[in-house]
Amino acid sequence: MASITLTGTLLDPSSKIAIGDEIRFTNRSTTGSTIKSAQSLFKIGVSGTYVIELQYGLIFVEYKDSVASQFSNLGVVTVNQDSTATTLPELLNAVVPPTDAQLLEFQTILANCVSQVTLATTQAVRSEAAASVSEAFANQLTTTELIASTAIYAADVNLGTSGFTTSGDGGSGNWKQNGVTGQTPSQSPAQLGNALLNDASGNQWGLVVEGWVNIETLGAKQSVDSTLEIQAAFNSCEWLYATGFDYRYTTLTVSNNLKFIGGGKKVTRLRTTNLTEDKIVVNSTGSFIVHDMAFSSIGVQTGGAYFKFAAATQIINPSFHNCDFVSPYVAINFTNANTFKISGCYFVTYVNAAVIIDNQVIPDSGDSTIEGGCVFDAGGNTGTAILQISSGGLRAVNNKFLNGAYHYRGEYSSAENTSVFVWTGNSSEQARLANMSFNAVSPNKFSKININGGNQYSVRAGATGIMINNPGYDYLSSVNISDNVLSLDDASVGINTGRLQMSTIGKNTMTGNGTGEFGIIIPVASSNITLDEQTLISVSNEYSDLSTTTNYTGWGTKKGTEVALTNTAFGSMYISLAIPIVFASEFPSIPAVNASPENSGGAVSCLISNTTKSGFTLHVVGLNNAASTTSNWEATL
């Protein structure tokens, strides 16, 4: 096929290699052997380089960086025999005269002929170049050999190594003498705790850092303990990547800015042997980003977190994307962090909690997000997916929650009042105690909570979907619970308002199986709750409202018409037999009922008795014996 080839290195605005950025090409014309609407996707690797062959045609170009969730439109370009671009920026900036599809086809045929002539020559040149590179690479020292070397080099020499221990093992790097002499001979980066080494003559060398650094360049290896090597990388390099599968460590500390990216959560894994304490402690208050890797344990975790944010002042904007957290005691503990973002991550078989939010440095802080299809599955453990102790401004959007004791648990002990929690578009299934639980362990208040926007709940037998607890004092207000769908199992509860104040329960849908479920419970401790009529299907006990301050909206009026015979003597008149009236759906509290006869059959009045939330008893009184009467009734809150 006729095509052009684009090569180069892609950088971000700060001149760092754009690892993980993606470019998508979509054909807007059918040209040669390429069909209109055909797509191709290119992802920038750890080297930052690209080689892209584009077929002739009208091509729509889109771009997405490694932290974005959507592609950006860069426009449509024409690729044909007049294209001179050799790099992506040149392609996007080039002014190529537009051409129609027929002309593109002729240009394609001509270019195919030319490309076949040059193909053999090109392959030969590439083979010769590759052979030369391989020969030069094989003649380089490894980093371990440099550490053991007594050779004398020029002070400004930039020495490239072919690997760390053996040539081609992934630990290659460029080292340069820094002018420091008389050091302890033959010291590795792990021994020095930095991106430095000492050769056998005591001369010190520093790693030449130009963008991204592989942790194996500083000696990290797979399937063996690499704590000191990874710590040296954390101490000295801001931009790190890892491509191996199994790196092992005990405890690590992050004290500087760090962006750490793996080859994918199914490709790169860090495993800890520390079973009781925090594993990676983040003390830096700067940038912190971890993408595309998995974290797990060698042994059963009984304490500590995989990540603990513990700086003396709060850490701003930490980010985790596309990571797996397997069998932690706690996966991430945001002790002193805010505006964090977690997206596309998988938390599985956590013992205590997947995510803890507890910023006591600035308790009324937040603007943090858990989104983008995160999955929380406690498996057979009783852990909590999200445990919030302080900090407002949390958004949990479009995630899936499975098993465990709680999916969201608020145990508020903030040092001051805080607000704002949004729970939207989540799927919450089979929590053992409550899908969502709200409680307080100090009298400070939490307000402005929205639980709406298509959340789906599967409520386990005996559990509660949304549970607001009563700690003995007011703490929760301005809560909106609406537009949720709850499937209730045996003896479960949809919503229990506990000690909720000044809040709204909008329209929700609940489906039971007629085995002891409760739809909505409003205890006496709740006050000023506004309750809309719910859609309740096969729910055994629809409402229990013990509060005297509930406001009912949107319930409308239930009406009916009854025909009865006045055939029993009633003083000087006659009365009908008792007519049991059952409302089509239950009211949350006892309604007011009125009934009146039509002017037929001599009926003069109606008697109402035994009014409950679900119905009442009606008698019709008339002047005539055995007369047929018609009466109308209505019930309203």
What confidence tens digit (pLDDT) does each residue in 583-616 have?
988 888 899 999 999 988 899 999 999 999 999 9
What is the count of structural domains for the chain?
4
Place of tokens 């500087």: 256
Q: What is the 3-state secondary structure (H, E, C) of 34-101?
A: ECCCCEEEEECCCCCEEEEEEECEEEEEEEECCCCCCCEEEEEEEECCCCCCCCHHHHHHCCCCCCCH
Domain range for 470 is 405-554
| Separation CA 266–CA 562 (nearest Å) | 68
- Weakest mean pLDDT among 2-16, 419-433, 618-632: 2-16
Say whether pLDDT at 121 is over 80: no
Say whether pLDDT at 528 is over 90: yes
Domain-embedded: residue 36: yes
**For residue 1, what pLDDT band results from cuts at 50, 70 and 90?**
low
Tens of pLDDT, residue by residue over 193-223, are 999 999 999 999 999 998 999 999 999 999 9
- What are phi and psi for residue 124, nearest 5 degrees? -65, -45
Is the domain of 483 the same as that of 439? Answer: yes
pLDDT at 25: 92
Q: What is the mean pLDDT of the chain?
A: 89
Domain-embedded: residue 386: no
Say whether pLDDT at 115 is over 60: no
- Cβ atoms of 446 and 391 within 8 Å: the answer is no
The percent of residues in the chain predicted with pLDDT above 90, rounded, is 70
pLDDT at 367: 83
- Weakest mean pLDDT among 9-18, 44-53, 127-136, 314-323: 127-136
Say which CATH number the domain at 573 has: 2.60.40.2080
Is the domain of 615 the same as that of 564? Answer: yes
Is the domain of 506 the same as that of 579? Answer: no
Q: Which of 624, 543, 546 is nearest to 586 (CA)?
A: 543
Domain-embedded: residue 350: no
Q: Which of 248, 254, 321 is nearest to 282 (CA)?
A: 254
The percent of residues in the chain predicted with pLDDT above 70, rounded, is 92
Single residue among 185, 213, 237 that ends a domain in this structure: 237
Q: Can you tell me the mean pLDDT for 414-422? A: 84
pTM: 0.74
Single residue among 106, 134, 162 that ends a domain in this structure: 134
What are the Cα distances from residue 46, in Å, to 140, 229, 261? Answer: 22, 20, 9
Say whether pLDDT at 522 is over 50: yes
